[in-house]
A and B are shown apart, each in its own frame.
Chain A
Amino acid sequence: MPDVPKMKKPDAKLVLLGDMNVGKTSLLHRYMERKFKDTISTVGGAFFLKQWGPHNISIWDTAGREQFHGLGSMYCRGAAAVILTYDVTNWQSLAELEERFLSLTDTANHDCIYALVGNKADLTDPKAHLCQDSDVLSEDRTDCEEARTEPQVLSACPTPPASPASLSGMLLHKQVAREDAVALYGRILRYKGLDEKGSLPADRMCFETSAKTGYNVDALFETLFDLVLPSILRKRHENQASPTVDLEDCREASGKRGKSSCC
């Protein structure tokens, strides 16, 4: 039997986890194709390759359906970053992350980065209504010029609760507050046995996004790409150097990462 060609091995893996219907596939579409389009509930999983500088990063979209739950550990194996996704209008979706999905990440890298993402922010938050993604309107594909800062509109719009309702009907009740996510992030670190001080801070790693309007989507992915770069370089370095692990070296490298991440 002739061998099947091997996939070119990506430099790092990023995995999207979360209950069905929270919008994992939509987030990836928004980021990769810069569109919000109809999705069907993901079967099994899918993945995309993203060129980030000189590196190839594979992004796995997993299926949230219970049926495929068992595959999660395998997808997470060797992951450099995991995006735990919930739906801000659905409290249960956040609870599921802790109950069902967190344990799947046991197979991820020891230095894996975790991000908590509350999607569908457009349904609850007026500021997420306004797409800040410059190319939502124009279909061109320049990925670099996105507004990463808070939208200007924020300050220009003094009474948010009144006006957005007129934009697309009523806002839904926000079931998950940001504080809930931040608290969960703390528990995740504890579960991983990580020291809160040496890890990335919650306010950097908890995102609220909207795949529909593009709100915060680029920021989410690009923050993570940047954060996994040191781990890629370290891995490369380890592969080149002797196969034995130098503990000194490791500590130093992780120390550096800690430092670079807080400024």
Chain B
Amino acid sequence: MSVKAFELVPAVERDLLMGDKARINIECIECCGRHLYVGTNDCFIHHFLLDEVTSSKGRLSYSAQKLLHKYLGLKKPVAELRAASALERLIVLCDGIVFLVDMVTLESVPSAAGGGVKIRGVTAFCINENPVNGDPFCVEMGVLSSKRRTVQIYMVYEDRVQLVKEVNTPEQPVAVSIDGYFLCLALTTQYMILNYNTGASQDLFPYNSEERTPIVKRISREEFLLAAPGGLGMFANAEGASQRAPVNWSESVMAAAVCFPYVVALDENFITIHSMLDQQLKQTLSFRDGQVLQDVEGKVMLASTKAVYVLVPLPLERQIQDLLASHRVEEALVLTEGAQRNIPKDKFQILHRRILQQAGFIKFGQLQFLEAKEHFRKGQLDVRELISLYPLLLPASSSFMRCHPPLHEFADLNHLAQGDQGKVLRCKNFLISYLGEVRSTDLVNGCRDDVDTALLKLYAEQDHDSLLDLLASDNSCLLTDSIPWLEKYHKYFALGLLYHFNGQDAAALQLWIRIVDGELRDSTRSDLYEYIVDFLCCSSNMEIVWKYADWALRKDPTKGVHIFTKRPVCKGGSEVNPDEVIAYLGKHSQALLLYLEHLVLERKIQKEKFHTHLAVLYLERVVSLLKTPKDEDQLTKAREKLQAMLRESHLYRVQFVLGKMEGCEELLLERATLHGKLEEHDKALHILVHKLRDFPSAEAFVVWASSDRDPLYRQRLFHLLLGVYLHDAPSGCGGSSEMEMAAVDLLNRHGEVFDAVRVLRMLPENWSLQLLRPFLNRAVRASMHASRTSQIALGLARSENVQLLHDRLKERRKPIFVSEKKGCHLCHNTFSEPSVVCLPGGVPVHVHCAAQRVRDSPTKRQLTNSSNHT
């Protein structure tokens, strides 16, 4: 479980530093740009120029060139070196004394007038890298001294140091680090944060500094890294809280540094590297005699007692790729995301996407589809990368090329699945769901063809229900690529849909017709014939309709005719001309009949031609059934239809139909109807009464023929029938009494229609009163009713007359004013001529208004209608 995050590269080898002098050890180092300073235990400072050299193979190495070395003259080890590059000074701690030397000459800086350059009794010091005071030409320094429980803050100038602050500490301080006003201190028994400006302090945690050397390392603004009991590296911020979990070092750690996102620590034998992102140990390098570990300008420098090394971080991408290569997806993503703030935004986005995509493919390879999908989605994967894994799915015309370097190690799906068909299938199902989800998003902009075509192929191959949905809705499937694929999987119906979507309806229909005719096998739709009819019915391309309706009609005229009868009435669109359809249907008699029925009975088109045609077709059918009498039922039905048509339509050409009936002795009833239509009622009744002897029909005939006619017409017809019954009866034979009975029935049932007086005159003398009682009852009642109504009307009229007389008498005495300004009370228009009518009460109205009123008055109406009432 290790990552290669750093490489240890030698910088200054032993020879260059001390040759073979065995007792000389490195005590401290400092680096500033290319300048490396090394302090040794024999009180020397060595100055090197360090250059990075990259070999042709990309390996990094350092070449060091010695510039100078200088004895400081104190016979003690150089304990600490810090560069203040803006001042061109090195701050040196040696033998408890802090002083300045020139960075170039390494000469001690002589004290300037007024200020001493030396600080004595110092145990440790640190530089504030984030000073509150922003003066670039001085350096803030925290100093611990051996005897006092204080921290002193100095300002270091080019040629002097100045004490600016001194703060007390509860115990002897051992190590210090500064950020802003915050001192992070290791005291004898604990760590603490101390604000040297306000004096506020915050205990962190106990630590025995006598047992183990404490570490206080500033790692970022207001954040420090501390050595904690149990070999922990603890993080603490200026508020005294921890915001990152600790890392787990060994007990003997002596120095630590941060090179984001890693914490590097040095102990007696090893360099350990932990990630700050997940606290895991990522890399361990063995390193003997370690003395110094220090982060400088993005790298980490190390020194053993004899030599100097640089710990060079490997490029982040390389680290990430290493993690991915060992399928450590989560770690790779943590590392990538952790680096977000260190990389320019656009560069990060590109990197992040790529890593996500790679991560997605790793998860995909492990068949962890949920994770894969999430990574693909976040990484905005070009879906064709995924599709291209599946052989033959991308259309031949696709311009897609896999990205380089490749996002994954798979040649194709078969390579990935190693022949495991179960795996292949799961991958296919994943792609189906994934493409289904993304096809309507922006992710597929610019490659919709590829995506839809791939999806179509998968659906077809997997016999997926959504194939039809895909094709029936808006899609970008490529026709040329899809045809062979759909044919291969016998998805002819679907192919038809695709043809249709591409505007090739003829091709679609041909294909479907072949399926219905059994030439092609595709059981997608068992109702394909109906589907075709429906399709033609809705098609606005008449050429296609004329071409394929014939097939449909031959197959099933009743359903086929729906092509014409079920057409949606489109607004504005040209409707099909019925004449054309009728002409077209000429050879499909059954369909033609249905079509005419549709026109006449359903759409109620009032055209003589259609009505006559339909009547004739009905007639022909009846005639043909009559010739082959086998199915009575059918015949009855056919005749009923014919009769209804003849009765109810007023448009057909009666004479013509009658002519067609010539010689059909059976169709007497129909003939009677036709005669009725021609108002030849006597002929009709003759047929009904004498030829058919069908008295109920005769009675029904007169009722029908006189419906919607005025009462007199009606009366005339009834009398006509009565006459036929009574006078045309061949006296003496048995039929006569039969007809007489019919006459009696007619009278008794429709008494009110007849003119009773006339009837009584017509009736034979010998008929009993009893026989005609219902008729007479009605007749008498009707006549009584009429007489009484007229008496009432008479009375009313009289009283009105009297009233008028009265008014006239009254009005004679006073004038009635009529002027152009006065309005008529009935119509509210003004008067234009002097002649007016006065209503009762002396109200003047127009003459014509008065006349109108009389016409509309209920009494008047009563009078005219009274004859109707029983």
Hey, which bits of chain A sit against chain B, CB under 8 A? 1-7, 9, 13, 43-47, 60, 65, 67-68, 70-71, 73-75, 77-78, 107
Contacts and interface: CB of A to CB of B under 8 A. Distances in A.
Interface in B246-290: 246-248, 258, 260, 276, 279
B858 interface: no
B403 to A, nearest CB: 29
Contact of A74 (B220, B229, B236, B341): B236
A45 B245 contact: yes
A45 B242 contact: yes
Q: Which of A68, A70, A107 has the most CB of B within 10 A?
A: A70
Residue of B203, B230, B244, B276 ringed by the most chain A CB atoms within 10 A: B230
B597 interface: no
B129 A1 contact: yes
A11 to B, nearest CB: 13
A218 B342 CA distance: 37
Nearest to A75: B242
A70 B236 CA distance: 14
A235 to B, nearest CB: 14
Contacts of B298: 2
B297 A1 contact: yes
B42 interface: no
A43 B230 contact: yes
Nearest to A43: B248
Given A1-B297, A4-B276, A44-B234, A73 B205 contact: yes
A9 B260 CA distance: 18
A44 B204 contact: no
Contacts, number: 86
B243 interface: yes
Given A3-B221, A74-B241, 11 more contacts: A4-B219, A4-B260, A9-B243, A43-B232, A43-B246, A44-B246, A46-B279, A67-B229, A68-B230, A71-B246, A75-B241
Contact of A67 (B230, B234, B239): B230
Given A5-B341, A70-B206, A47 B221 contact: no
A78 B205 contact: no
24 contacts: A1-B296, A2-B260, A2-B298, A3-B220, A4-B219, A4-B220, A4-B260, A4-B276, A5-B260, A5-B342, A7-B244, A13-B241, A43-B232, A44-B232, A44-B234, A44-B245, A46-B279, A47-B244, A68-B230, A70-B205, A71-B242, A74-B242, A75-B242, A77-B241
Residue picked from B246, B260, B342, most chain A C-beta under 10 Å: B246
A35 to B, nearest CB: 16
A74 B230 contact: no
B232 A74 contact: no
Nearest to B205: A70
Given A4-B260, A7-B243, A68 B220 contact: no
A2 B240 contact: no
B295 interface: yes
B752 interface: no
Nearest to A10: B243
A68 B236 CA distance: 15
Given A6-B221, A71-B234, A77 B229 contact: no
Given A4-B223, A43-B230, A44-B228, A70 B207 contact: yes
Contacts of B129: 1
A6 B220 contact: yes
Nearest to B339: A5
B816 to A, nearest CB: 90
A4 B258 contact: yes
Contact of B241 (A1, A44, A68, A78): A78
Nearest to A141: B370
Contacts of B204: 74
Contacts of B276: 4
Contacts of B244: 7, 47
Contacts of B229: 67-68, 70-71
A78 B236 CA distance: 13
Contacts of A1: 129, 295-297
Nearest to B263: A4
Nearest to A4: B220
B205 A74 contact: yes
B260 A46 contact: no
A45 to B, nearest CB: 6
A73 B234 CA distance: 13
A5, A74, A107: which has the most chain B beta carbons within 10 Å?
A74
Contacts of B247: 44
Contacts of B206: 70
A43 B228 CA distance: 11
Contacts of B342: 2, 5
A44 B226 CA distance: 12
B311 to A, nearest CB: 14
A4 B190 CA distance: 25
B34 to A, nearest CB: 17
Nearest to B247: A44
B245 A47 contact: yes
Contacts of A74: 204-205, 234, 236, 240-242
B245 A71 contact: no
Given A5-B342, A71-B205, A77 B295 contact: no
Nearest to A1: B295
Nearest to A71: B205
B823 to A, nearest CB: 79
- 5 shortest A-B CB distances, which residue pairs? A44-B246, A4-B220, A5-B341, A70-B206, A77-B241
Nearest to B257: A1
Contacts of B207: 70
A240 to B, nearest CB: 19
Interface string B320-359: 0000000000000000001011100000000000000000
Contacts of B236: 74
Interface string B206-243: 11000000000001110100001110101010011111
A99 B613 CA distance: 111
Contacts of A7: 243-244
A7 B236 CA distance: 12
Contact of A44 (B221, B230, B295): B230
A222 B505 CA distance: 62
Contacts of A71: 205, 228-229, 232, 234, 242, 246
| Residue of A47, A68, A71 contacting most chain B CB atoms (<10 Å) | A71
B20 to A, nearest CB: 36
Nearest to A58: B243
B272 to A, nearest CB: 14
A112 to B, nearest CB: 13
A146 B236 CA distance: 37
Nearest to A76: B241
Contacts of B239: 77-78
A2 B258 CA distance: 10
A73 B203 contact: yes
